Amino acid sequence: MFWYDGKLMETETISISVTEPGLIYGATVFTTLRVYQKSLDHRLTQWSTHCHRLECSLKAFGWISPNWQQLRREAEVLIDYYPVLRLTIFPDGREWIAGRFLPKDLEQSQRQGIKGWLAKDNLYKRSLANYKTGNYLGTFLASQKAHELGFREAILADNQGNWLETSTGNLWGYKQGQWYTPPIEEVILPGIGQSQLLSWLNHKQISLNQIQWNLDLIESLDIIAYGNSIVEIIPFASIKMERKTLNFDTSHSELKQLQDYYISD
């Protein structure tokens, strides 16, 4: 079940023109959100923030905005069936709203951690990195390769080897009483989950440093985790680099500082 161009459809296919820029060039913008307690107004859902990101991208590209009230009404229909919604907007303002379920092993991954893989090939670069567009080929290839090699998540790096983000989320690291995350000034997608956690840490007066993730910093971290609006925070149990593997304690007590954001009032 999904919405497309004002119509609710119960099928697995969608009909678009062969001249559609979204098909030919990946010319769409999208955002993916997790709906908490079936409410778009829940503080963790961040509905207005996700819509604002779409609106800013549409304005930057000179594209037509959708009917935002209609978009919300359509989303309200789907939240009875799906906890995750993807909102996609085409250049002419058409909307496509699809739903999906949370990963079945999400709680296990949050508790036990996952294995990550450092993707350093130039293939694995994000197009227009500061915008969430339909051209996701670089990150898709990184994720696909990671899965082929037996890893759950890929980590992207710049040409100097500095870590930027994962194929689906933002990076978090911890050592000696301080959290670290790569700065938005790097070529990364500004995550909504990341923005909310930054505000949370500042509000709680928990030490945070937004600096470049070079090898010296990476190898000194006690915790490395990633997060996004869907999975919240997932720690890495290990990360395979070119010549070595980093291992981490996924039960580290300080992980609770990030996880508390998702359970606090």
Looking at residue 260, what DSSP letter applies?
A: G
Q: pLDDT tens digits, residue range 210-239?
A: 999 999 999 999 999 999 999 999 999 999
* Res 254 pLDDT > 90: yes
| Residue 75 exposure: Cα atoms within 13 Å on the Cβ side | 27
Query: 116 — alpha (psi -120 to 50), left (phi > 0) or beta?
Result: beta
Confidence of residue 127 (pLDDT cuts 50, 70, 90): confident
The pair phi, psi for residue 238, each rounded to 5°, is: -160, 155
- Mean pLDDT (the chain, rounded): 95
Together in a domain, 234 and 114: yes
Q: Of 100, 121, 138, which residue is a domain's last?
A: 100
Angle at which helices 68-78 and 47-61 cross, to 10°? 140
Looking at residue 263, what DSSP letter applies?
A: T
Together in a domain, 76 and 24: yes
pLDDT at 186: 65
Q: Taking residues 240-251, what's their average pLDDT?
A: 95
Total of domains in the chain:
2
Q: What is the CATH number of the domain that holds 22?
A: 3.30.470.10
For the record, the structure tokens of 158 come out as 């710049």
Q: Distance between CA 65 and CA 72 in Å, rounded?
A: 13
Q: What is the pTM of this model?
A: 0.94
Together in a domain, 86 and 169: no
Together in a domain, 129 and 154: yes
Q: Of 100, 127, 152, which residue is a domain's last?
A: 100
Q: Of 84, 100, 116, which residue is a domain's last?
A: 100
Together in a domain, 24 and 153: no
Integer CA distances (angstroms), 65 to 58, 69, 70, 88, 168, in order: 7, 11, 12, 11, 25
Domain that holds residue 152: 106-262
Integer CA distances (angstroms), 218 to 19, 31, 105, 172, 224, in order: 45, 29, 27, 10, 8
Together in a domain, 123 and 247: yes
Q: What is the CATH number of the domain that holds 150?
A: 3.20.10.10
Together in a domain, 150 and 257: yes
Confidence of residue 264 (pLDDT cuts 50, 70, 90): low
